[in-house]
Structure 1
Amino acid sequence: MRNFSASPRELMASFWRNRNLIKSFVQRDVLGRYRGSVMGILWSFLNPLFMLVVYTFVFSVIFKARWGTGSDSKTEFALILFAGLMVFSLYAECINRAPGLILGNPNYVKKVVFPLEILPWVNLGSALFHGAISLGVWFLAYIIFFGIPHITALYLPLILLPLIFLIMGLSWALASLGVYLRDVAQFVGIVTSTLMFLSPIFYPVTALPERYRGLLYLNPMTPVIEQTRDVLFWGKAPDFSMLGIYLIATAFIAWLGFAWFQKTRKGFADVL
């Protein structure tokens, strides 16, 4: 039986070796999602816009949520909320789909030469495409209402890098677990929905009593959401020390997830 390397070097080598295959699969996934739809890929623009309007109305009008800026501007609230929502949507789309990546592609499992480890990369690539459209909507709205975006927005890829490592590590682990434990998909859906309301998306960290704020920072989404808002809306540079620690921790998580996937993939064909 073939042995699959679980080394950190193989993690990146596999991505680079199969980059063209990943690119073609991402294109197929994006286009296939809207195949047969009258409005096609335009839905990737309308979906986040619609959710933005709903969340803004519920939290700024009904619940009277504020960000402590002293402003009652609905536009300001919407852009601050949308910045956090974009980040969480990237995470949620990948994690919710992860348990079904292998189950949904049994034909690839039977092919010994097919690199199954690229499927989470494909999943991430598709989510990044939709995230980029949402980000374009955000910048367009900011330019219309506030003018030229802050130069600190250029830090955004650096802030998202640890999140990408976290997503990949969890995706490899969940893709493998989803083969052996079919209930994983249901559990992940519940956890993701709960995590959304335990993340500072609809409210600032300062809205919590001070004794509970430390608990909020145990949520891995909190640092990236907060720093995304800092660089996009507030014009602040990221906390590089926190970012460095976060990067090291999530890179380790990515390797653990990849190692688990490589060690367990031998049994996929037998289970499916």
Structure 2
Amino acid sequence: MDPHSTKSVSPVKLIKKLISERQLIYQMSKREVVGRYRGSAMGLLWSFINPIFMLAVYTFVFSVVFKARWGASSAADSKSDFAIILFVGLIIHTLFAEALIRAPTLIISNVNYVKKVVFPLEILSITNIACVVFHSVISLIVLLTACLIFNGYIHWTAVFLPLVFFPLIIFTLGLSWFLSALGVYLRDIGQTISILMTVLMFLSPIFYPISALPVKFQSIIMLNPLTFIIEQAREVLVWGRFPDFYGIAIYTCVATFIMWVCYVWFQKTRKGFADVL
């Protein structure tokens, strides 16, 4: 096979390839998840300990030290309610940030796969997303357990959580393809993304409600791709309301288009990977 040949950018062929390579994707994702805790005494148990620890720390810092409250509603005045509201935003930001921070090094840390031109390099981003989603699911289990313990119930609208997360996963996958290819040619992009993700955390309505901001800044926060997803996740999980189906449909369409554009970028630039590496 010619590494400099033009690769197909057809969405249909992409879907067919993902289906045909599903076993490889599963095995690599499993290896990625297990490999993260290889050698540790508690193994995968750390995937439960980490979100519990972070939930406790952030709740203490913001609800006890900084005396933060979620608006004037008495329903969000208790530390437990604040912890649940806070953790929803943290899970979404962590999913997005962790995937993108790792993306720029996906290709350069797997040089052997580049030399073996028959290897489907595009699945590296998919396994990266799968690993991050796995840990997000664990965090959601911890969150749902906290809801059950603190409130005594879980809103039935929580069944819409996969629908809320789906467009974000599509969007994140697209950006992962873009950054993994860009990282081959521009090595500094990895450091830049880490800084941007930290800034994005404080520009997302994680630690504060949008209503707490001046009106002139609210429109800026709404441009943040995480804002809509965070708000919708809280709607279905914390407040027990239906999600904005129309908004999710629009977000999904835009995310799908961005994913395809990023995939085209990846396929067009991959022909130079072997030369650069």
Partner SS state of residue 39, structure 2: coil
CA distance in 2, matches of 1:40, 1:121: 23
Deviations 1:219-243 (A, max 9, x none): 0000000100110110011111211
> Which residue, 116, 120, 126 being the options, matches 1:121?
126
Q: Is 1:226 paired with 2:249?
A: no
| More off after superposition, 139-148 vs 128-137 | 139-148
Residues 227-242 of structure 1 mapped to structure 2, 5 A cutoff: 227-242=232-247
> Which residue, 21, 26, 29 being the options, matches 1:23?
26
Unaligned segments of structure 2, at least 5 residues: none
Deviations 1:181-210 (A, max 9, x none): 000000000001100110001111111012
Q: Is 1:98 paired with 2:103?
A: yes
CA distance in 2, matches of 1:204, 1:142: 20
> Which residue, 30, 38, 43 being the options, matches 2:41?
38
Deviations 1:35-94 (A, max 9, x none): 111121111111111111111111111222111222431111001111111111111111
Residue in 2 that maps onto 1:252: 257
**Residue identity opposite 1:178 in structure 2:** G
Residue in 2 that maps onto 1:130: 135
For residue 117 of structure 1, report the CA deviation from its aligned partner: 0.3
Partner SS state of residue 109, structure 2: coil
What is the count of residue pairs matched by the alignment? 272
Q: Is 1:83 paired with 2:88?
A: yes
Residue in 1 that maps onto 2:6: 3
Report the aligned-residue RMSD: 1.0
For residue 102 of structure 1, report the CA deviation from its aligned partner: 0.3
Residue in 2 that maps onto 1:66: 69
Unaligned segments of structure 1, at least 5 residues: none
> Which residue, 260, 263, 269 being the options, matches 1:264?
269
Deviations 1:121-180 (A, max 9, x none): 100110111111111111111111212211111111111111011101100000000000
Residue in 2 that maps onto 1:203: 208
Partner SS state of residue 238, structure 2: helix
Confirm or deny: 8 A CA contact 1:11 1:255 kept in the other structure: no
Confirm or deny: 8 A CA contact 2:70 2:77 kept in the other structure: no
Residue in 2 that maps onto 1:180: 185
Deviations 1:225-272 (A, max 9, x none): 010011011001111121111111110110011100001001101111
CA distance in 1, matches of 2:263, 2:16: 12
**Residue identity opposite 1:185 in structure 2:** G
Confirm or deny: 8 A CA contact 1:99 1:185 kept in the other structure: yes
CA distance in 2, matches of 1:183, 1:11: 29
TM-score (norm 1): 0.97
CA distance in 1, matches of 2:258, 2:143: 30
Confirm or deny: 8 A CA contact 2:51 2:142 kept in the other structure: no
CA distance in 2, matches of 1:12, 1:76: 41
CA distance in 1, matches of 2:40, 2:127: 22
TM-score (norm 2): 0.96
CA distance in 2, matches of 1:156, 1:193: 25
Confirm or deny: 8 A CA contact 1:227 1:238 kept in the other structure: yes
